[in-house]
Amino acid sequence: MNPAARLSLALVAGLVLWLPTLSATLRGDVDLFEAAIRYLVGFLLARLAVGLLARLIHSYVDGAEQDVARTITSMDDIDRPTASAA
């Protein structure tokens, strides 16, 4: 996964996690500094989750590619009948 896409996804996920704080900030129930800290915490959690998910997907893709390469190699090792044996 592209690093810029991971960052964008983490920013959007952090914003979604922060939305309840946004409405409370607009009502005046939460101080601006506290709202910024809450967004930072939400963003960091989202960044960690997106990074772990991307790493998991990348490991599955690598495993699948290795399985395909191993299958192709094993198929090439099979003795095929030659024209002289027929």
Q: What pLDDT is recorded for position 24?
A: 94
Cα–Cα distance, 45 to 78 (Å, whole number):
50
CA geometry: angle 54, 56, 57, nearest 5 deg:
65
> Taking the CA of residue 39 as centre, how many other CA atoms within 13 Å lie in the half-sphere pointing to its CB?
16
Contacts of 39 (CB under 8 A, 6+ apart): 14, 15, 18, 21
Instruction: Assess contact for 15 and 50: CB atoms under 8 A.
Output: no
What is the chain's length?
86
Which residues does the chain have with pLDDT short of 70? 69, 74-86
Q: What pLDDT is recorded for position 59?
A: 87
